[in-house]
């Protein structure tokens, strides 16, 4: 009987010792941050490695389970196993290291990410052997058609700033406007100040009208295309100037015109006076107009008379 108790204890001890070395982690890598929410749709994006600095754009509007698949055909001497891992925004994702098998002459890394909020957006990279990398830029659609030069308006006038989401990209849910205040952005609520601001939204286009401009209204304005996941921003600079700005070159030009006209008329008058005195010295047939009108005519004509 004692022997069977010893055997039992010994077996239990053996079990405990061997159990200590059992790795409870599963062979699959742990997915980054959150547990997959099965109710989200799944979006699959694939990319095959083509060369250095490869960037794939992923445009998302709503929360999804994003599956990213990277394939690589490998070097000349293909090893059967290589390591691969994932990075987000340049930082390695924990526990994402994988051993990748060579299948059908290529290596494949895949991973499912939960994209539910703004912090899930960013630059995801799959990396093979720390050297071969494909970047996935996961973002909401960016505003492409936006004015890069400043909008110039005058004090007291009204200014218009427009933002447009191209037809090729999905429509935003709504638009919002912000004014830059130092490094912050303040949202503009048109309802709060209807005399000053007016926002006209039209699916793909949005217009901000600012009435009764003052110098303080100069600065950067941000239009935000609001999607469920995040808001994509574009910025336009508004410059408010006074009427004195264009008035200065204008007055310069008017002065130049005035000087030219005066010079021309004076020159003509002096020429005609000179010819008048010449003409008076000779007998002339015609004694017509006012001195101002006289020009070189009579002088030359009287010269002609003398020759003929």
Q: How far is the CB of 250 from other proteins (least distance, A)?
A: 5
Give the three-class secondary structure for 164: strand
Residue 264 found at the interface with other proteins (CB under 8 A): yes
| Alpha-carbon span 166 to 168, nearest angstrom | 5
Question: Does 286 participate in binding other proteins (rule CB under 8 A)?
Answer: yes
Residues 287-306 within binding reach of other proteins (CB under 8 A): 288-289, 293-298, 300-301, 304-305
Distances from the Cα of 21 to the Cα of 15, 16, 272, angstroms: 10, 9, 119
For other proteins, the binding residue among 247, 273, 277, 282 (CB under 8 A) is 247
Going by C-alpha positions, the residue among 140, 14, 150, 30 that lies closest to residue 85 is 30
Q: Of these, 146, 199, 220, 241, which contacts other proteins (CB under 8 A)?
A: 241
Stretch that binds other proteins, among 29-37, 40-48, 91-99, 261-269 (CB under 8 A): 261-269
The piece of 21-29, 38-46, 118-126, 244-252 that touches other proteins (CB under 8 A) is: 244-252
Nearer to other proteins, 37 or 289 (CB): 289
Which of 246, 270, 273, 274 forms a contact with other proteins (CB under 8 A)? 246
Site residue total, other proteins (CB under 8 A): 39
181-197 burial by CB neighbour count: b if 16+ within 10 A, else e?
A: eeeebeebeeeeeeebb
Contact between 197 and 206 (Cβ < 8 Å): no
DSSP labels for 213-235? Answer: --GGG-EEEEEEEE-SS-EEEEE
> Would you give the binding string for other proteins spanning residues 82-121, x where CB under 8 A is met?
----------------------------------------
- Extended beta strands in the chain, E state: 42-48, 54-59, 64-72, 81-88, 91-92, 98-101, 107-115, 122-128, 132-139, 151-154, 159-164, 174-181, 184-187, 197-202, 205-210, 219-226, 231-241
CB 243, min distance to other proteins, A: 8
Map the footprint of other proteins across residues 20-59, applying CB under 8 A: none
CB of 204 vs other proteins, minimal distance in Å: 16
Tokens of 237: 């600079």
Contact stretch for other proteins (CB under 8 A) within 66-74, 186-194, 225-233, 254-262: 254-262
Nearer to other proteins, 154 or 180 (CB): 154
CA distance 163 to 236: 9
Of residues 116 through 155, those in contact with other proteins by CB under 8 A are 149, 151-154
- Tell me how far CA of residue 16 lies from CA of 7, 8, 25, 108, 115, in angstroms: 14, 12, 18, 38, 42
Rule CB under 8 A: which residues touch other proteins?
149, 151-154, 157, 160, 162, 241, 243, 245-247, 249-250, 253-254, 256-257, 260-261, 264-265, 268, 285-286, 288-289, 293-298, 300-301, 304-305, 308
């Amino acid at each position: 009987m004692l022997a069977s108790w010893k055997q039992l204890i010994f077996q239990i001890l053996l079990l405990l010792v061997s159990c200590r070395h059992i790795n409870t982690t599963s062979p699959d890598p742990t997915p980054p941050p959150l547990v997959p929410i099965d109710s989200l749709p799944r979006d699959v994006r694939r990319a095959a490695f083509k060369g250095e600095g490869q960037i794939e754009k992923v445009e998302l509007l709503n929360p999804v389970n994003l599956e990213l698949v990277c394939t690589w055909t490998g070097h000349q001497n293909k090893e059967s196993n290589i390591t691969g891992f994932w990075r987000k925004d340049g930082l390695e994702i924990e526990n994402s290291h994988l051993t990748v098998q060579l299948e059908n002459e290529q290596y494949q890394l895949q991973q499912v990410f939960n994209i539910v909020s703004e912090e899930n957006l960013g630059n995801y990279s799959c990396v093979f052997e720390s050297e071969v990398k494909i970047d996935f830029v996961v973002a909401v659609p960016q505003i492409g058609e936006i004015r890069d030069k400043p909008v110039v308006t005058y004090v007291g006038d009204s200014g218009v700033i427009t933002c447009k989401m191209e037809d090729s990209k999905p429509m935003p849910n709504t638009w919002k406007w912000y004014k830059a205040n130092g490094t912050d952005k303040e949202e503009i609520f048109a309802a709060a100040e209807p005399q000053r601001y007016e926002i006209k939204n039209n699916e793909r286009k949005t217009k901000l009208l600012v009435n009764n401009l003052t110098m303080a209204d100069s600065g950067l304005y941000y239009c935000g295309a609001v999607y469920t996941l995040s808001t994509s921003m574009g910025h336009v600079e508004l410059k408010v100037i006074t009427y004195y700005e264009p008035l200065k070159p204008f007055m310069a030009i008017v002065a130049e015109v005035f000087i030219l006209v005066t010079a021309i008329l004076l020159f003509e008058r002096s020429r005609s006076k000179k010819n008048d005195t010449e003409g008076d010295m000779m007998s002339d047939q015609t004694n017509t107009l006012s001195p101002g009108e006289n020009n070189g005519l009579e002088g030359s004509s009287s010269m002609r008379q003398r020759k003929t």
